[in-house]
Amino acid sequence: MYLVLCGLGIALVIWALQLKRRGRSLPYPPTPPGHFLFGNLRDVTAPKQRYHYDELAKRHGEIFHLSALGEHIVVVNSEEAAYELFTRRSAIYSDRSQNPMTHFSSIFSAMMPYGERWRAYRRLFHQGLNPHTVASFQPVQSDRLSKYLQKLLVTPHDLAAHADRLVGSIVFKVVYGHDTPENITEDKTFLNAVKAIQNLANSILPGEWLVNSVPVLQFLPHWFPGCRFHSFARETKVLVNAMVEEPYEQAKQRPESVSIYQMLCNARETVGQTFAPQCPEVNLTCLLQTLTVISAFYLIMRQNPAVQDRAYREIGEVIGQYRLPEFSDRAALPYVEAVYREVMRWMPAVPYSVPHSTTQDDVYKGYLIPKGTLATHPTIATSRSMVNDESKFPNARKFMPERFLSPEGKFNGGDINNIIAFGFGRRICVGRYLADASVWHLIACVLAAFRIEPKTKSDEIEKLENLDEAFLHTFMAHSIPYECAITPRTPEIAEVIRKMNEDG
Ligand code: HEM
């Protein structure tokens, strides 16, 4: 009886929501046909969403709309439309949807509703992560990178663990002044944060949880069939709290350290009581995003020896073979810059982007985008997605750094704000300068020092028809497991790395 009443109640709420939406005068953007009661729920929750969205994008083009259980989703496929909506109309498109599953994550500025509190955090993070401040972190970045290169020399097969440690140690040091232990897999704070972020990531994409579309479901008891979201939310909340509290407690022990956390504490008065002193923005998604890019870089490189050789030649011609590239060499290495940019284009770390949400009704090319719409711009997920735009990136799925070079060999990819992988508008990645510097430096030094090859010629990657198939697209892109043989280019460069670590 209880089940029947609940079912009826839910159906009535959905029906009322559908009715409420019908009194409009303008059409929604092209919408695939849906169920009379559930709308496009099947499209939103399609199992292989990447391929399903691809089909929809092929059929509907630049922008399409899905409506599921009263919730509106707009999928933006072109860079022009994304720029128009998320950047030029950012006053409308900068909110984040607050639903039952993301509620507990809204302590992160990344998930906060658009408003005074988010603005205050954003200002503070800009203070800690602007190009000028990020430049002051270069000594930390260089120190951690030289340790990483040394590890690659000694135990190249532990590639992923070395990258975890590199990125974790930079982010923790820069944000909290926290030194991660030698073996990062023993760092509870780090491991906890990774798990928390994986859970958060699994909470925010449209269609992941029915309760996000039908919030009334949250009032059902935890034992009710299909209510696993209760235990998932509880587990995530515990992880998120620990992720915020533990590094904060550790950072309090080191008031003298130079870190973003300390800067934020000093600036706390500027935003009054609403600013929690914890520095939630180790919001380690940033860490996972950076790791995703690094992992993609190795995989792409091992399949593209000619690209590695050309970058190696450029580095040799510009700085010689007896030292590693430094930040000050960056402008003189256009091909290396182009490799970095092509990695960011070819496999953006967040394939569906972080959905924005609208704060009022809007009209785009005669289509109504209602208030509260979840607006998402899959950077890569579909063949129409912006990094796959053939008019800008001919032969888009081919890895070709030279697309970012002029005929004279000059880099012509524009500044950091042209990197689609960092998002758009007022919610654009606030950590992009730190990420950009860390990833570029790693790419430049690895290409200067090592050759990256498949470990065996017959692994799973070699069997794929194209490299795209090696990547799975969830909230974050990640590849199937792969192994590389990583060998120093010359004994001399290996010696340079050893020496740097002895001296350091
Ligand atoms: C290569 C690495 C990275 C990539 C590809 C990346 C990408 C992104 C993307 C796509 C967004 C959402 C933008 C939007 O909503 O339009 C974002 C937001 C954000 N990122 Fe990053 N990110 C990276 C590294 C970092 C780092 C290192 C940090 C911090 C140290 C960071 C901090 C943030 C924050 C705080 C936000 C939320 C901004 C807001 O909502 O106001 N990210 N990032």
Which segments are annotated as binding site?
A: 429
Please report the pLDDT score of residue 247 as a whole number.
65
R_g over Cα of the chain = 24
Confidence bin at 255 (pLDDT 50/70/90):
low
- Domain of residue 404, CATH code: 1.10.630.10
DSSP notation for 36-75: TTTBTHHHHT-SSHHHHHHHHHHHHTTEEEEEETTEEEEE
Q: Can you tell me whether residue 414 is helix, strand or coil?
A: coil
State the distance from the centre of ligand 1 to the C-alpha of 405, rounded, in angstroms: 26
State the distance from the centre of ligand 1 to the C-alpha of 457, rounded, in angstroms: 36
Ligand 1 pocket, CB under 6 A:
109-110, 122, 125, 129, 171, 281, 283, 286, 289-290, 293, 349-350, 353-354, 356, 421-424, 427-431, 434-435, 439
Confidence bin at 282 (pLDDT 50/70/90):
very low
Instruction: Judge contact between 174 and 437, C-beta under 8 A.
Output: no
Best residue among 289, 350, 385, 427 to mutate for probing ligand 1, ranked by most atoms within 8 Å of CB: 289
Give the C-alpha separation, 44 to 52, whole Å.
9
Give the C-alpha separation, 423 to 430, whole Å.
10
Please report the pLDDT score of residue 399 as a whole number.
96
Please report the pLDDT score of residue 403 as a whole number.
97
- In the chain, how many domains are there? 1
Residues 159-171: tens digit of each pLDDT: 988 888 888 888 7
Predicted structure pTM score: 0.86
ipTM score assigned to the predicted complex: 0.98
Residue scoring higher pLDDT (2 or 407): 407
State the alpha helices, DSSP H only, in 324-397: 334-346
State the distance from the centre of ligand 1 to the C-alpha of 12, rounded, in angstroms: 39
Please report the pLDDT score of residue 240 as a whole number.
76
Q: Which atom of ligand 1 is nearest to the CA of 348?
A: 5
Give the C-alpha separation, 216 to 26, whole Å.
29
Please report the pLDDT score of residue 229 as a whole number.
79
Q: Which atom of ligand 1 is nearest to the CA of 428?
A: 13
Q: Specify which of 73-77, 331-335, 413-417 reaches the highest per-range mean pLDDT.
A: 331-335
- For residues 310-325, give the mean pLDDT: 96
Please report the pLDDT score of residue 271 as a whole number.
47
Closest Cα to atom 11 of ligand 1 = 429
Give the C-alpha separation, 284 to 246, whole Å.
13
- C-alpha distances in angstroms, 426 versus 91, 269, 318, 490, 502? 8, 23, 38, 46, 44
Q: Specify which of 97-106, 251-260, 267-276 reaches the highest per-range mean pLDDT.
A: 97-106
Query: Which residue, 445, 441, 456, is CA-closest to 489?
Result: 445
Please report the pLDDT score of residue 18 as a whole number.
53
Give the C-alpha separation, 190 to 167, whole Å.
11
pLDDT at 252 over 70: no
Neighbours of 3 (CB within 10 A): 10
Residue scoring higher pLDDT (400 or 78): 400
Tokens of 244: 């915020």
pLDDT at 449 over 80: yes
State the distance from the centre of ligand 1 to the C-alpha of 286, rounded, in angstroms: 6
- For residues 213-223, give the mean pLDDT: 74
Give the C-alpha separation, 449 to 354, whole Å.
35
Closest Cα to atom 32 of ligand 1 = 431
Closest Cα to atom 16 of ligand 1 = 423
Residue scoring higher pLDDT (152 or 5): 152
pLDDT at 223 over 80: no
Quick one: 232 exposed, middle or buried, by C-beta within 10 A (0-12, 13-18, 19+)?
A: middle
Confidence bin at 123 (pLDDT 50/70/90):
confident
State the distance from the centre of ligand 1 to the C-alpha of 261, rounded, in angstroms: 17
Please report the pLDDT score of residue 71 as a whole number.
84
Give the C-alpha separation, 107 to 290, whole Å.
22
Residue scoring higher pLDDT (442 or 192): 442
Please report the pLDDT score of residue 12 as a whole number.
52
Residue scoring higher pLDDT (37 or 388): 388
Residues 326-375: tens digit of each pLDDT: 999 999 999 999 999 999 999 998 888 888 999 999 999 999 999 999 99
Residue scoring higher pLDDT (474 or 263): 474
State the distance from the centre of ligand 1 to the C-alpha of 424, rounded, in angstroms: 10
Instruction: Judge contact between 276 and 434, C-beta under 8 A.
Output: no
Confidence bin at 316 (pLDDT 50/70/90):
very high
pLDDT at 144 over 70: yes
Instruction: Judge contact between 234 and 122, C-beta under 8 A.
Output: no
Give the C-alpha separation, 293 to 434, whole Å.
14
Residues 23-62: tens digit of each pLDDT: 568 999 999 988 777 788 888 777 677 778 888 888 888 8
State the distance from the centre of ligand 1 to the C-alpha of 353, rounded, in angstroms: 10
The structure tokens 């290169």 sit at 149
Q: Which atom of ligand 1 is nearest to the CA of 350?
A: 10
pLDDT at 281 over 60: no
Please report the pLDDT score of residue 104 as a whole number.
60
Amino acid letter at 372? G
State the distance from the centre of ligand 1 to the C-alpha of 431, rounded, in angstroms: 6
Please, what is the average pLDDT of the chain?
A: 83
Q: Can you tell me whether residue 473 is helix, strand or coil?
A: strand
Best residue among 346, 426, 428, 429 to mutate for probing ligand 1, ranked by most atoms within 8 Å of CB: 429
Range of the domain at 283: 2-503
State the alpha helices, DSSP H only, in 391-459: 432-449
Give the C-alpha separation, 400 to 403, whole Å.
6
Confidence bin at 383 (pLDDT 50/70/90):
low
Best residue among 286, 294, 352, 475 to mutate for probing ligand 1, ranked by most atoms within 8 Å of CB: 286
CA 246, 249, 254, 260 dihedral sign is positive
Confidence bin at 72 (pLDDT 50/70/90):
very high
Q: Specify which of 186-200, 385-399, 400-414, 419-433 reaches the highest per-range mean pLDDT.
A: 400-414
Please report the pLDDT score of residue 160 as a whole number.
87
